[in-house]
Structure 1
Amino acid sequence: MEIYRGKRLTVEKREITLPNGKRKERVVVHPGGAVAILPVEGDDCYLIRQYRYAVDDYIFEAPAGTIDEGEEPHETARRELIEETGMKAEVFTPKGWIYPSPGYTDERIWLYIAERLSPCHDYDMDEDEVIEVVRTPLRDLAAMIADGRIVDAKTICLICRCFL
């Protein structure tokens, strides 16, 4: 049974049968797919420091965004990199995908590393996003994860997929 339908999100309540035969009621969130991109230039990368209203704080993240209907993940990666950083990339290397929170959602996030960056002067940032682009040395990423400066799960996964 559908509980909620919005522009990019539906919430459904359903009865499921677990592999052990037990029946349970569960709520599943269907947000659609998304991408996360790590733009790399030499020994540095670009993260964004973005205000997130759900946690009422600014957090460091990889640029990311939702896949539009009919759009392929690599197209979304190109679009979102420009929208969130004002940069375009010549090379996008796929790094697989993740389930960010499979306990309640079927969302998949496709991961990319973007290279050969250049400024894109013809772009518009979404009006509801408060973003600062931060050039960050690659050598600092592990310490930023370890000390809690980077707490965003998709960003941590992307960094691991790119460098481990």
Structure 2
Amino acid sequence: MTEIYSGKRLKVELNRFTLPDGREKERVVVRPGNAAVMLPIEDDHCYLIRQYRFAIGEYIYEAPAGTLDPGEEPVETAHRELIEECGLAAAEMIPHGFIYTTPGFSDEQIYLFEARGLTPSHEYEPDDDEMIEVVRVPLAEVKAMCRDGRIADAKTIAIICRCLR
């Protein structure tokens, strides 16, 4: 393994490996660290965020999410990020497994949670580099947003599919 880049948010490595059939190959692997995403549900509505994403140069609808801090369990991240991004605390975080975001070149796992028993949190403080608007959406509408492309974020589509089967 040769480290190509190491920064605050991710590492990039060049790896040599052997395929199951014995052939040797070389691939770049991106290691961004793991994350948690949650779908806050209250009655027949859920909360999404509308956030500006520099990499794509536009605002998109997303479920609140964030990267695990060192030593932090995914459920702890889910509780922390829900407060930071939506100003909501959850009495219950129901786990719905995890997804690999891009297994062709990354080892990132995002843990999926359904947040229930929501109450306002006084600890609300978004990160200074985040431009976020919290949006309350009827559950029927959020499904339509996935179908018609208004929600194009993969982790958000995954958590909606797992929570609203």
Give the TM-score taking structure 2 as reference length. Answer: 0.97
Question: 1:20-47: CA deviations, max 9, x gaps?
Answer: 2222110001111100000000000000
2:99 aligned partner = 98
Give the TM-score taking structure 1 as reference length. Answer: 0.98
CA distance in 2, matches of 1:28, 1:132: 33
Shift of 1:98: 0.4
1:81 aligned partner = 82
Shift of 1:113: 0.4
CA distance in 2, matches of 1:122, 1:80: 11
Give the 5 Å matches for 1:1-164: 1-164=2-165
Letter in 2 for 1:38: L
Shift of 1:143: 1.1
Letter in 2 for 1:107: E
Shift of 1:55: 0.4
CA distance in 2, matches of 1:154, 1:140: 18
Size of the aligned set, in residue pairs, is: 164
CA distance in 1, matches of 2:80, 2:147: 30
Which ranges of 4 or more aligned residues in structure 1 deviate by more than 6 Å? none
Structure 1: state its 5+ residue gaps: none
